[in-house]
Amino acid sequence: EDFGASWGRVMPEEFRVGRDGRALELRLQAHFATFRTRQTLLAGGEPDPAQQQVDLEPFRAFLSSRGLDEVCGDEALMPLFALPFVQRPHAQSNVCGVFKAKWLQDLRRDVEAALRSQHPQIPLLYDLLAPQH
């Protein structure tokens, strides 16, 4: 099952069409598009530019299908709109933050918060699975 169908099933339409929902979906799509590059970088390798462009193509299509809205004006999200259009994005100062651990941690935190706010019955499962500190 693709992400869009799962996202639509789990998150209510009111959230998905709102600014926060659209911004979170944009960030998730960017995550999927950069996953292979992030894994390669974590392993100490250099991503293949041709493979990066292949991986970024669905994200480019996602951006094209969404059009421009107020999410585009969010300064924190602007680098994501440039991501599929720059060569070696992991090496470009204006978009390389997407490849950092902090960006991924922030995304995870925000996804968990969105899920908890939309489905309050789910937190018990998360709490059971969360690592104990």
Digit-coded pLDDT (tens) for 8-65: 888 889 998 888 998 999 999 999 999 999 999 999 999 999 999 999 999 999 988 8
CA distance 107 to 94: 18
Report the predicted TM-score, pTM, of the whole model to 2 decimal places.
Answer: 0.83
Are the beta carbons of 76 and 103 closer than 8 angstroms? no
Are the beta carbons of 77 and 71 closer than 8 angstroms? yes
State residue 19's pLDDT score: 87
Are the beta carbons of 21 and 15 closer than 8 angstroms? yes
State residue 107's pLDDT score: 95
Among 105, 106, 81, 108, which Cα is nearest to 95's? 81
Digit-coded pLDDT (tens) for 105-119: 999 999 989 988 876
Question: In this model, does residue 76 exceed pLDDT 90?
Answer: no
